Chains A and B, each alone.
Chain A
């Protein structure tokens, strides 16, 4: 008798689990224009970060929140909802009420998640507000003890020993895509391996377990400063003002550009007036010198704001690019 009871409880719990998952909020009708005009009306504005506390996305969201508060005149609360490479938080915001009090702070991985089929939606499921920061600091570094002094040295070495040089990335992640692009562009064949996240890869490069590593400058900075790593190229249009000694890949004859836009988006159906208000406030923040100091100190990036229309165009373009490269990414 008791056993039956246990089974019953277990079954009930499992059942409740699924109903819990299936529950989804219906998007509320657009807030009345009157409410939109008053927004934020001293009510707390919640920004969902789809990753844990302490990462780059969390940092950028919180830095924005800090400077947005006095401009918007309300408290800006950052909430971390992590899981499924950012999809869990995205779903939560997508299914929230479109009253302008909940927004999502995410980046290009939202699109990549759709391409690698981790999620079935991307930015089209939201009302995009603006890009707060564009990270143009993707660099390629090698161990300073290695013989490679320029990007060309590395490419030539890769050509001489196809499939031997280890390139680290997470499969299906953005740096994996960059690596595949590098292979296609130069006609080389690297051995693309998974060596963990940003900091794990630093250790792997230091120990010589991998031959090259692509990541934003800020993640590798301690090792670049200590002279353990040598930077061969930055994958941006122009050299960075924060590390001007590093040549771009383009200068060296390889037209490879990598970037990541951290953008804010609202649930579909949010009043455009609210979106305009937030976007304008974000633009104001991006021009503040103390904001620039904060982000340069922590992640070696420069402020780069994009308004609603530009962000949409950027995301549409990025999506097309990823979709076209789908076979390459899912290889």
Chain B
């Protein structure tokens, strides 16, 4: 309680409050524009925080982070183009709802569950961070390998109608992720002697290409056949509050809880991040649902899964960052850099030596979440009105941002070619009805599996047994087997049904 007061003293001033408002608003804008992401917002503002006070700097960065992760839902729901990698799964059910004319409801659900996800993970962060950090350090190479194997089994849940096509997509993801220098011995793979290819394909342009550029290409193609481009009608007038009932809210309680827990868990384990959290959680929620066949046609369960988990991953990612000094993804790596430059090194003494900073972060997350709720609630009508812009103006604009955003990842033209290549690939996938989300899972998890397999073998000097005998690893490998067995059983049943 005393610590809370110290934190409150640090941030309850007009400057910090303005900083939160500014950060969250700007974060939402960065999140909402496909091509620009939370990562980019932080990269842009990190150097600016160097000259601020430590508290003001960290308040701004955390606000950008919260806004940026949530903002992605807006474009995901309204245009089927995810604003950030964290909102890929939000498109699956969000856009069908928009097509049914229930766009504001979908937005309302997304906003409320972003808020709930943030608050859930903040509570966990405040009360359990040091404890969870102790558990997290016991995850070594063997354990991460097992987690990766388990995560890959989720491909089945994301495959849609055809398991085979889902697996093709997933394994292509794994294969494309191998391009570049391997992460252990710097051996060059598929670089064709090009130095640009050596760093491989960056995840951000790959995702933007697969989900944004391809969508633009498809719409452009359809417009040739449709006599007149229809603008989607969105009725805002009849909408009260967030557009959904208390009954619907209570129906989602278990979905939200499970999504939140998965999001936090994925956030805590370094190297996975919100980009996987939303896709993976969507798969899990769909699997446990009583009506999985309705997923993808516009059920709010899908939005709840995606949006709760991606915001929950924020609090999760801050657990190892604050208590161990380990950044889990690019965003937390930048937060770490921001703190280091201020002379604050997150680690075991963080909770005793820098109580003000720690509690400033906690309070920023809570206040930021509330700010996000209000800004997006009042913005809801504005966002929906964006759809009135004809697509032939809107989509080229988005295309431009995608290209600029890709260039901004590391200031290289190569990433622009990457976004176009994967845009073309996403288009081909769409034509062949191959789902894109297993690809992402493969692209992110594949390298994680490889590096931890190889690290583990270095530790054990070539012995495979520790992968099976390390208790945590064994649990995840068994879970992976169960997951595969369940997916196989389901698939066989479906085949019998249709046969």
User: Does A pair with B?
Assistant: yes
Interface string of A78-109 (1 = CB under 8 A from B): 11111111011001100000000000000000
The reply to whether A79 and B411 form a contact with Cβ atoms under 8 Å apart is yes
Judge if A199 is at the interface, Cβ distance under 8 Å: yes
The reply to whether B431 and A81 form a contact with Cβ atoms under 8 Å apart is no
- Interface-facing stretch out of A130-138, A220-228, A239-247, A259-267: A220-228
The reply to whether A81 and B412 form a contact with Cβ atoms under 8 Å apart is yes
The reply to whether B461 and A163 form a contact with Cβ atoms under 8 Å apart is yes
The reply to whether B50 and A194 form a contact with Cβ atoms under 8 Å apart is no
Judge if B52 is at the interface, Cβ distance under 8 Å: no
* Residue of B43, B327, B350, B412 touching A53 (CB-CB under 8 A): B43
The reply to whether A119 and B348 form a contact with Cβ atoms under 8 Å apart is no
Interface string of A212-253 (1 = CB under 8 A from B): 000000100111011010000000000000000000000000
* Residue of B47, B184, B349 touching A222 (CB-CB under 8 A): B349
Q: Which residues of A contact B (CB under 8 A)?
A: 6, 9-10, 13-14, 16-18, 20-22, 52-55, 58-59, 62, 66, 78-85, 87-88, 91-92, 116, 118-119, 163, 166, 170-172, 191-196, 199-200, 202-204, 206-207, 209, 218, 221-223, 225-226, 228, 297-299
Judge if B243 is at the interface, Cβ distance under 8 Å: no
Residues in chain A near residue B107, CB distance under 8 A: none
The reply to whether A54 and B185 form a contact with Cβ atoms under 8 Å apart is no
Please give me the residue from chain A that is nearest to B347 by CB atom. Answer: A222
The reply to whether B326 and A199 form a contact with Cβ atoms under 8 Å apart is yes
Q: In the assembled complex, how far is the CB of residue B42 from the closest CB belonging to chain A, in whole angstroms?
A: 8
Please give me the residue from chain A that is nearest to B321 by CB atom. Answer: A199
Give Cα distance in the complex from A200 to B451, angstroms. 13
Q: In the assembled complex, how far is the CB of residue A141 from the closest CB belonging to chain B, in whole angstroms?
A: 13
Interface string of B322-358 (1 = CB under 8 A from A): 0011110010011111101111011111100000000
Given contacts A17-B421, A80-B410, 12 further A-B contacts (CB under 8 A): A17-B417, A20-B196, A52-B330, A53-B43, A54-B340, A84-B195, A85-B186, A92-B412, A119-B195, A163-B461, A204-B137, A298-B343
Residues in chain B near residue A13, CB distance under 8 A: 417, 420-421, 424
Q: In the assembled complex, how far is the CB of residue B41 from the closest CB belonging to chain A, in whole angstroms?
A: 12
A20-B455 in contact given A59-B340, A85-B181, A226-B347 (Cβ < 8 Å): no
Please give me the residue from chain B that is nearest to A164 by CB atom. Answer: B461
Q: In the assembled complex, how far is the CB of residue A325 from the closest CB belonging to chain B, in whole angstroms?
A: 17
* Residue of A20, A53, A170 touching B46 (CB-CB under 8 A): A53
Residues in chain B near residue A10, CB distance under 8 A: 421, 424-425, 428
* Residue of A81, A87, A209 touching B195 (CB-CB under 8 A): A87
Give Cα distance in the complex from A271 to B198, angstroms. 32
The reply to whether B337 and A55 form a contact with Cβ atoms under 8 Å apart is yes
A interface secondary structure, majority = helix
Please give me the residue from chain A that is nearest to B423 by CB atom. Answer: A13
The reply to whether B340 and A298 form a contact with Cβ atoms under 8 Å apart is yes
* Residue of B46, B50, B414, B424 touching A9 (CB-CB under 8 A): B424
Q: In the assembled complex, how far is the CB of residue A5 from the closest CB belonging to chain B, in whole angstroms?
A: 10
A-B contact pairs, 22 of them (CB 8 A): A6-B428, A16-B417, A17-B414, A18-B194, A20-B414, A21-B194, A21-B414, A22-B194, A53-B334, A66-B50, A81-B411, A83-B198, A83-B412, A88-B198, A88-B412, A171-B184, A194-B454, A202-B324, A203-B324, A222-B345, A222-B348, A226-B347
Please give me the residue from chain A that is nearest to B428 by CB atom. Answer: A6
Interface string of B149-161 (1 = CB under 8 A from A): 0000000000000
Q: In the assembled complex, how far is the CB of residue B408 from the closest CB belonging to chain A, in whole angstroms?
A: 10
Residues in chain A near residue B346, CB distance under 8 A: 222
Judge if B7 is at the interface, Cβ distance under 8 Å: no
Residues in chain B near residue A62, CB distance under 8 A: 47, 50, 341
A194-B324 in contact given A55-B337, A119-B195 (Cβ < 8 Å): no
Judge if B459 is at the interface, Cβ distance under 8 Å: yes
Give Cα distance in the complex from A291 to B305, angstroms. 48
A83-B184 in contact given A206-B137, A226-B349 (Cβ < 8 Å): no
A199-B336 in contact given A78-B47, A118-B186, A118-B198 (Cβ < 8 Å): yes
Please give me the residue from chain A that is nearest to B455 by CB atom. Answer: A194
Give Cα distance in the complex from A225 to B411, angstroms. 38
Judge if B168 is at the interface, Cβ distance under 8 Å: no
Give Cα distance in the complex from A290 to B192, angstroms. 48
* Residue of B137, B338, B410, B411 touching A203 (CB-CB under 8 A): B137
Residue with the highest number of chain B CB atoms closer than 10 Å, among A222, A225, A226, A297: A222
Q: In the assembled complex, how far is the CB of residue A168 from the closest CB belonging to chain B, in whole angstroms?
A: 10
Judge if B72 is at the interface, Cβ distance under 8 Å: no
The reply to whether B410 and A199 form a contact with Cβ atoms under 8 Å apart is no
Q: In the assembled complex, how far is the CB of residue A132 from the closest CB belonging to chain B, in whole angstroms?
A: 16
The reply to whether A204 and B140 form a contact with Cβ atoms under 8 Å apart is yes
* In the complex, the 9 A-B pairs of residues with the closest C-beta atoms, listed nearest first: A54-B337, A222-B347, A83-B199, A297-B343, A84-B198, A226-B348, A207-B137, A17-B417, A193-B458
Residues in chain A near residue B326, CB distance under 8 A: 199-200, 202-203
* Residue of B180, B186, B198, B424 touching A116 (CB-CB under 8 A): B186
Please give me the residue from chain B that is nearest to A22 by CB atom. Answer: B194
Give Cα distance in the complex from A79 to B44, angstroms. 11
Q: In the assembled complex, how far is the CB of residue A163 from the closest CB belonging to chain B, in whole angstroms?
A: 7
The reply to whether B410 and A81 form a contact with Cβ atoms under 8 Å apart is yes
Give Cα distance in the complex from A82 to B333, angstroms. 14
Q: In the assembled complex, how far is the CB of residue B469 from the closest CB belonging to chain A, in whole angstroms?
A: 15
Residues in chain B near residue A171, CB distance under 8 A: 184-186
Give Cα distance in the complex from A192 to B457, angstroms. 11
Residue with the highest number of chain B CB atoms closer than 10 Å, among A9, A14, A54: A54
The reply to whether B330 and A6 form a contact with Cβ atoms under 8 Å apart is no
Q: In the assembled complex, how far is the CB of residue A299 from the closest CB belonging to chain B, in whole angstroms?
A: 8
The reply to whether B186 and A83 form a contact with Cβ atoms under 8 Å apart is no
Q: In the assembled complex, how far is the CB of residue B216 from the closest CB belonging to chain A, in whole angstroms?
A: 13
Residues in chain B near residue A207, CB distance under 8 A: 137-138, 140
Give Cα distance in the complex from A195 to B458, angstroms. 9
Residues in chain A near residue B128, CB distance under 8 A: none
Q: In the assembled complex, how far is the CB of residue B314 from the closest CB belonging to chain A, in whole angstroms?
A: 17
* Residue of A84, A206, A226 touching B199 (CB-CB under 8 A): A84
Residues in chain B near residue A20, CB distance under 8 A: 196, 413-414, 416-417
Please give me the residue from chain A that is nearest to B331 by CB atom. Answer: A54
* Residue of B325, B341, B420 touching A199 (CB-CB under 8 A): B325
Give Cα distance in the complex from A206 to B325, angstroms. 12
Give Cα distance in the complex from A225 to B346, angstroms. 12
Residues of chain B from 407 to 463 with CB closer than 8 A to chain A in the complex: 410-414, 416-417, 420-421, 424-425, 427-428, 431, 451, 454-455, 458-459, 461
Q: In the assembled complex, how far is the CB of residue B274 from the closest CB belonging to chain A, in whole angstroms?
A: 18
Interface string of B112-147 (1 = CB under 8 A from A): 000000000000000000000000111011000000
Q: In the assembled complex, how far is the CB of residue A161 from the closest CB belonging to chain B, in whole angstroms?
A: 13
